[in-house]
Structure 1
Amino acid sequence: MTTAPASGTADAPSATPKLKTSAMIASFADPGQKTAPAPFGHALAAAAETDPRIVGLTADLGKYTDMHVFQKAHPERFFQMGMAEQLLFGAAAGMAETGLVPFASTYSVFAARRAYDFLCLDIAEPGLNVNIVGGLPGLTTGYGPSHQATEDIAIFRGMPGLTIVDPCDSIDIEHAVPQLAAAAGPSYLRLLRGNVPTVLDEYDYTFQLGKAAILRGGADVVFVSSGLMTMRALQAAEELAVHKIDVAVVHTPTIKPFDAETVLAEIDTPRLAFTLENHTVVGGLFETVASAATRRGLGKRVVPIGLPDEFLDAGALPTLHDRYGLSRSSIVARVLSELG
């Protein structure tokens, strides 16, 4: 696996060097925003201090999934499997059979598209405690369709017994890791890596596996969000308050199993309801909410804000988030349009 090529410098000695950038490892943090470095790697290393069963594996992507932090802290419990995702998860399954608790990292696209059968039959069918850690979920890289896992939740939602976690920030990740290690059965964590925003510490919030949380009340509009879109939902709610629109935000970090009780209680009101997700509107949070509402018999319109059902462009993340409707300004414009 190679990373995005950096820009070169001019041949002339007097030329100003070009900035070296990488669409592969781009950050979605806003300038000046509070962040925490490599929260997954540090949380896994900390959890391993008290749980000797925890091991870490990666498919040649330790640095780019923050697994290198665990490797440095527990080198004897780290396994580099090379560019072989099926081997990665097959080995993790074997380790889990012996009583270990593997966390196996790669990019989400490789886990979902290349190794599905191994995950399904080697891990999910026997109900093993293997934790799949997928980097670059949704539109968190500008590297194009080969690396943008815009449909990973849709692929994994149908896998029986698989827990799916879509964390908002460093707080969610820090709390989710030990809970996933302690939970029976397999999981899929949509990893936010590098310098990850810290958002939820400003709210009376604690991550609980399988539970949604109301972060903010509001009389006019309700946002049901997951992943980094909870950060954007909170930002958009602040901006909409300037327009005298009162917005509630419900954070759903666990997509499966889904906390229908909490979410539907917020949906079943006269307020205009939206789902916000860093995922295609096909098969993700929107359809999870819509399915739950239909099963309950709620005749409620829910407006999806998410990625379109298409392969996305490559480019800079701020540009792409504007283009595909994930930016704060795009959310605000959509709400104002819906309210007329």
Structure 2
Amino acid sequence: MATRLEGARCREVSMKSVTTTPSSKPRLTTSAMIASIASEGQRTKSAPFGHALVELARARPEVIGMTADLGKYTDLHIFGKEFPDRYYQMGMAEQLLFGAASGLAAEGFMPFATTYAVFASRRAYDFIHQTIAEENRNVKIVCALPGLTSGYGPSHQAAEDLALFRAMPNMMVIDPCDAHEIEQAVPAIAAHQGPVYMRLLRGQVPLVLDEYDYRFEPGKAKLVRDGRDVLVISSGILTMRALETAKALADDSIDVGVLHVPTIKPLDTETILREAGKSGRLVVVAENHTLIGGLGEAVAGLLMRSGVHPAFRQIGLPDEFLDAGALPTLHDRYGISAAAVATQIKGWL
């Protein structure tokens, strides 16, 4: 199994590297870990979280940055360079990271604590549960490599983080789509009094939602695109894929609407019920998370309890340990690439 250091280093490997063999010319191979989830030619923005946190901290002296040996790999190093006296490097000790964050919050600080999503959700869950959530401490937990955004195998793939944090009392859960939303989410979660878990896209992050005049609001779902045939209810990078799918299926005269749900908890029940309750549309929930316990089951439960019964399908990761490999291959294999999403939707109509 990969060590954390090896995994962190792999995050910086470029999408393609040159290899040679004694009997062949140099050839290009795809890295198992890709520094960006952006498609070729897609607009991106560098380190939106790190830059947004710096802007927030200039106006909020209580904001501090904390990490567990992953400042560079969560874009927190940008904050550390700007505010070295407010930056805490806690070493490879997530339990210590979150325990200290809770203590600092109790003294009036607002810690933004970063690590990989697997380490927060699996390794330090009890410390977050007991010292942050139960005490309702004002700690913002911001975690990279959510869902299947790492090709480094189960040790680094946080396929179940939303399910775990959804079940934690007092915890707000955010799954942003792109750089535009991350920039807006940072000051918004700072304005929320209480603990927040936010998934993080880092490095060169795609820009998508700025084309739709989108504005992030905690606890609010937004209809980014309307459609008469299908409604995709999505979060995170699957909203990006859903919008790509909608454009592709328009060529087949299939009209796809996209309802972006960045706040997994608390759920915007009013908007979801209104849009899912419109007759004649297939409702598909798409998420970068296991099919168990995430947005799909949250929406399904809401619809059942409310007596709203559209034709309903889910797109998400299977209930299994996922393979290691190149992200484009894995996204196709597990059904969350734009092409795979389009194929599934066409098959259901």
Q: TM-score, normalised by structure 1?
A: 0.95
Aligned to 1:290: 300
State the secondary structure of the residue aligned to 1:223: strand
Deviation at 1:11, TM superposition (A): 9.7
Q: CA deviation at 1:55?
A: 0.2
Deviation at 1:15, TM superposition (A): 8.9
Query: 1:22, CA displacement in angstroms?
Result: 5.0
Alignment of 1:92 onto 2:104: no
Matches within 5 A, 1:1-340: 1-4=4-7, 23-270=32-279, 271-339=281-349
Is the contact made by 2:19 and 2:29 (CA closer than 8 Å) also made in structure 1?
Answer: no
Equivalent pair of 1:26/1:142 in contact (CA under 8 Å):
no
* Structure 1 residue 182 displacement after superposition: 1.5
CA distance in 2, matches of 1:328, 1:163: 28
* Distance of 2:5 and 2:291 partners within structure 1: 30
What 5-or-longer segments of structure 2 have no aligned partner? Answer: none
How far residue 95 of structure 1 moved from its aligned partner, in angstroms, is 0.5
In structure 2, the residue corresponding to 1:255 is in which secondary structure? strand
| CA drift at 1:336 | 0.9
Letter in 2 for 1:280: T
Residue 115 of structure 2 aligns to a residue whose secondary structure is strand
Contact 1:26-1:317 within 8 A present in 2 as well: no
Instruction: Report if aligned partners of 1:166, 1:190 keep a CA contact under 8 Å in 2.
Output: yes
Shift of 1:18: 7.0
Q: Matched residues in 2 for 1:303 and 1:269: separation?
A: 16
Query: Partner amino acid for 1:43?
Result: A
CA distance in 2, matches of 1:105, 1:253: 19
What residue identity is the alignment partner of 2:6?
Answer: T
TM-score normalised by structure 2 residue count = 0.93
Tell me how many residue pairs correspond in the alignment: 338
Give me the whole-angstrom Cα distance separating, in 2, the residues matched to 1:9 and 1:251.
Answer: 41
Distance 2:275 2:6 in 1: 42
- Distance in 1 (CA, whole Å) between partners of 2:19 and 2:251 is 46
- Range moving further from structure 2, 295-304 or 252-261: 295-304
Distance apart, 1:280 and its partner CA: 0.5
Is the CA contact 1:27–1:194 (under 8 Å) kept in the aligned structure 2?
Answer: yes
Deviation at 1:291, TM superposition (A): 1.1
SS across alignment from 1:2? helix
Q: Deviations over 1:299-332 (max 9, x none)?
A: 2332001111111000000000000000111111
Deviates more, 1:2-11 or 1:113-122: 2-11
3-state secondary structure, aligned to 1:128: coil
State the one-letter code of the partner of 2:200: L
Change (3 A) 1:22 1:111: farther
Separation in 2 of the partners of 1:244 and 1:9? 44
Please give the per-residue CA displacement for 1:197-242, whole angstroms capped at 9, x wherever unaligned. Answer: 0000100210001100001111111010000000000000001110
SS across alignment from 2:253: coil
Which residue type is aligned with residue 39 of structure 2?
D
Cα distance change of structure 1 residues 17 and 289 upon mapping to structure 2, 3 Å threshold: same
In structure 2, relative to structure 1, the CA distance for the partners of 1:53 and 1:16 (3 Å cut) is: farther
Q: Distance in 2 between matches of 1:212 and 1:247?
A: 17
For residues 58 and 106 of structure 1, the distance between their equivalents in structure 2, rounded to whole angstroms, comes to 6
Structure 2 CA distance for aligned equivalents of residues 56 and 18 of structure 1: 42
Distance 1:281 1:90, change over 3 A: same
